[in-house]
Amino acid sequence: MPLVDIEVDKQSSSPSIATFRHLVPLVNQGSVTYLNASFAPPRTSLSTKPSSNMSRKHYTTVPKPKWQACPPNITFTGDTTEAPGSVNQGLHFKPGDNVVLLDSKHPNTHINAFSTIDTAKKATKVTAANVPTCAPYVDDRTIVIRLSSVMFHSGQWNDVADILGFAIVDVQNLEVSAAAFSLHKGFQCPTGLAALYIDPKVIKDVNVTPPILVPDAPAVYHLSAQRYDHLNPSLISGAVAKAYLSFYFDVLGPQNLENHLYTLRYLILDLHDERWMAHFLQNGVIVTPYRLGVRVSFWFCNNSEHATKLVRVL
């Protein structure tokens, strides 16, 4: 696929957004054009947050409850592979049930899905289909439909909400049974922390079993996502996540950032020759190579000049 939709709005970089570019030294020094938000370096204010957070706990007698306070329907997990995988493991597959995956999904989804239905493999049909042929495989025995809001490596939108990786998502309005959210893609946070939302009605109707070790005796679980809670989240990731989200909500403004990113347009590059990456690096443009070509991911530090430079380098 050729480069598409490269019209540039010279006013696309909001003054309020540009103000905060200095918080990322690598970008602010101007030596590279960073179009790789998925692996972006942390902001200076994020890198100092863990130590200051821990320091405040030195004189608190019971600090841990203040480290993890969450609404009942949201819990923390390690990442967005673990989160839906935990739900998968708790589902009750029966002979004849149907599992449908998109063939262009990130490999972790396939590996995770297959590994979490071991007890039902012999009785369950698993199909990998492309988007145009997916619908015929979905029938009344399909108990799970699993999609990413934005495909990890192809940039493809799968849902009607046109979700940006940085945008606000109303999971109740989407009417999903469960949703997982990572913080390390574009939010400049370390890996090791994600959020898992589960509709309490689904828990009541399906009674998904959390993947934890329990004795043979019956266990009574929470009637919310708290049944997936454990006491070993990444505290450093939590401190950094709080710092970023405070910056995101209180300083940048979600709608302002969403509008800014939409103005930078959407680029899909079909560039397979291995010499492309050397060419990008020689010209100070940072992107990600992957099996379908090159991924360009914008974040708050990017502006129309960066998009223009990308086109010029191409």
**CB–CB of 112/83 below 8 Å?**
no
Query: Residue 305: CB partners within 8 Å, gap ≥ 6?
Result: 13
Residue 213's pLDDT is 64
Q: Which pLDDT score, from 0 to 100, does residue 280 have?
A: 94
Pairing outcome for strands 74-77 and 194-198: antiparallel
Q: Which helix (H) or strand (E) holds 286?
A: strand 285-286
Tokens found for residue 157: 């939108």
Whether 64 and 179 have beta carbons less than 8 Å apart is answered as no
pLDDT lower than 70: segments of the chain: 1-15, 38, 40-71, 102-133, 148-167, 184-188, 190, 213-215, 265-269
What was the pLDDT predicted at 73?
A: 78
CA quadruple 260, 265, 266, 271: dihedral sign: negative
How many C-beta neighbours within 10 Å does residue 163 have?
Answer: 17
Beta strand 98-102 with 142-145 is parallel
Contacts of 168 (CB under 8 A, 6+ apart): 254, 255, 258
Residue 256, sorted as left (phi over 0), alpha (psi -120 to 50) or beta, turns out to be: alpha
Nearest CA to 195 out of 71, 23, 55, 110 is that of 71
CA neighbor of 198 nearest in space, from 214, 222, 218: 222
> With contact defined as beta carbons under 8 Å apart, do 103 and 128 qualify?
yes
pTM, two decimals, is 0.61
Q: Give domain limits for the chain.
A: 15-48+250-313, 69-232
Range 69-232: architecture per CATH: 3-Layer(aba) Sandwich (3.40)
| Contact predicate 242/49, CB 8 Å | yes
Q: Residue 184: what residue type?
A: H
Would you tell me how many other CB atoms lie within 10 Å of the CB of residue 101?
20
- Residue whose entry in the numeric block shows the structure tokens 């071991």: 118
